[in-house]
Each structure stands twice: as structure tokens, then as C-alpha cells.
Amino acid sequence: MKQNIFVWLLLACFLPVQFAQAKKKVEKEPDDRTYWCNLMYRMAAPVLSNMSEGKLQQNMQVEVSPTWMAETRQ
């Protein structure tokens, strides 16, 4: 009887530790190609989607510095 209780106590102590360790998955960092492709997609997607709908100039106005090409505006 005592041996049976001891076995159950050992199982109760060590099984949760094993399950907790199994849940910890190491997320590997994406390689350089994946990182840069995702970054380029995030930059290009709004431009290309607006361009395909014909709304690029309407939705993305060009903003320039007040001093940009100041000598030609005079």
C-alpha cells in the first residue's frame, strides 16, 4: 500500500514537469530570405492593391517638403 502511494506521488510530481517541458517549443527565427520577402510584401501590398483597383493617386497622395524644388517654383 505504501509503495503504491509512493509511486502515485512520484507520478504526480514528475508528469506535470514533462508536459510543461513538452509545451515549450523553440520558435526558430526566419531565415534572411523569408524575413526580407515578408518585409517587401508588407511594403508593396498596399501600393499594388491600390494600383490594381485604379485608386493609387486617390488613396496615396504624394507628400513633399516645402523646400523641394523651391528654385523652380519661383
Of the candidates 53, 56, 73, 55, which has an alpha carbon nearest to the alpha carbon of residue 65? 73
pLDDT at 6: 76
30-59 pLDDT per residue, tens: 899 999 999 999 999 999 999 999 999 999
- Quote the pTM value: 0.47
74 or 31, higher pLDDT: 31
Rounded Cα gap, residues 45 and 39, in angstroms: 10
